[in-house]
A and B are shown apart, each in its own frame.
Chain A
Amino acid sequence: MSSDRHEETSAKSQVWSEYERLHRAYQARVVGLCRLLLRDSEEAQDVAQEVFLRAFEQLRTQRIPDVWEAWLVRVAVNACRDRQRSAWWKRRNRNVEITDLEAERSLWSTEDQASDREQRVRIWASLAKLRTKQREVFVLRCMEGWSTEETGISLGISAGSVKTHLFRAVRHLRQALEQK
């Protein structure tokens, strides 16, 4: 009886230690990925928390994926997609006009009006204007370093589609760089 309890306690502590290891190793990366996909730091934190909650569930129920990194990225992409599909998100984003650079400039102090800052705003605004699939492909291919095949499998599209989406995303983002 007491040995059963001892085993249960040790299993729990093992789950916790593994969870903490995962959190330490991947938390920043998952938050960064979510921020790129959602373009919102607070929402990214929120979704990343959801992702790690699911990871904890996986650990607790002993359903350990082969590669945690790929699992976390895939779950994060899906969680971001779910968030963007929600009616609340659509309603909220109707009010978001991050492309209005003139209006944003008025909020900056004169010291902040550096060219690299303007460029960063333009790039983020351009990323926000990309189609969801284009954004996901760009983030996974160029920011996460996934291969075309891995990206295609993760997003459920063909390798050819990945290439097309990537090309369109890059073309759109480069246009943002050219705007002065």
Chain B
Amino acid sequence: MNHCLDDQSLLEIHTGEGKPAQRAHLGGCLTCARRYRRLEEDLSNIVSALQRPPALPLEHATAIMPLWRWSLAAALVIGAFFCGRLTGLSGLSLNSQGPTMASQQQVDYTTPLVVDDDDNVAAASYTSSMDDLLTPVDAGPDFTIAGQSEGVN
């Protein structure tokens, strides 16, 4: 039957809480004594390592983004790019005539708009009615909009 001490008993001896029988066994058992020495050595290493600050500040570790996050971010960017490309292409293919035609039309802004009585009497009456609407009710024939008479420099 094996009477050797388990790790918890060895730790209790180390912390000064071991039972006399356990201590007695430790004194006579080479295997337990070796394990006890190793425990003491390990604890000493652990304590001395923890008495110094961490080898790297945790901020570094925080800065290290896990690989899967980088992959996910890259996949999202690539996906968004292709999605945008596909949407743009389909829009062009469906309405390819519209934008092209519109861009080819030249608008002549220099030709003055002349309303001929023979051509369109309705247009002339529309113009005069608009003049009536734009003229203030209480304004006399000499009414001028402020600033217009003086001219804007």
Within 8 A of B (CB), among A75-112: 92, 95-98, 100, 103-104, 107-108
Bitwise interface map of A from 115 to 143 toward B, beta carbon under 8 Å scored 1, else 0: 01111110110010000000000000111
Docked pose: A42 CA to B45 CA in angstroms:
25
Do B45 and A96 touch across chains, with their CB atoms under 8 A apart?
Answer: no
Given contacts A39-B58, A97-B61, contact A166 B15 (CB under 8 A): yes
Q: Within the complex, which residue of A92, A148, A171 is in contact with B62, where a contact is CB–CB below 8 Å?
A: A92
- In the complex, the chain A residue whose C-beta lies closest to that of B58 is A40
Do A124 and B55 touch across chains, with their CB atoms under 8 A apart?
Answer: yes
Do A41 and B53 touch across chains, with their CB atoms under 8 A apart?
Answer: yes
With a cutoff of 8 Å between Cβ atoms, the chain A residues found around residue B56 in the complex are 98, 104, 107-108, 121
Number of inter-chain CB pairs below 8 Å: 90
Please report the total number of A residues contacting B with Cβ < 8 Å. 38
With a cutoff of 8 Å between Cβ atoms, the chain B residues found around residue A121 in the complex are 54-56
Do A141 and B15 touch across chains, with their CB atoms under 8 A apart?
Answer: yes
Do B50 and A100 touch across chains, with their CB atoms under 8 A apart?
Answer: no
- In the complex, the chain B residue whose C-beta lies closest to that of A168 is B8
B66 part of interface (Cβ distance < 8 Å): yes
- In the complex, the chain A residue whose C-beta lies closest to that of B64 is A103
Do B7 and A171 touch across chains, with their CB atoms under 8 A apart?
Answer: yes
Given contacts A117-B55, A143-B50, contact A163 B62 (CB under 8 A): no
With a cutoff of 8 Å between Cβ atoms, the chain A residues found around residue B45 in the complex are 119, 123, 177
Q: Report B's interface with A, CB cutoff 8 A.
A: 7-8, 11-12, 15, 17, 39, 42-43, 45-47, 49-62, 64-66
Give 10 closest A-B pairs by Cβ, nearest first.
A121-B55, A123-B49, A124-B54, A98-B61, A120-B49, A120-B55, A167-B8, A103-B64, A174-B42, A173-B46
**Can you add 14 more A-B contacts, CB < 8 Å, to A120-B49, A120-B52, A167-B11?**
A39-B54, A40-B58, A96-B61, A97-B66, A100-B64, A103-B61, A103-B64, A104-B56, A120-B54, A120-B55, A127-B50, A142-B47, A166-B15, A171-B7
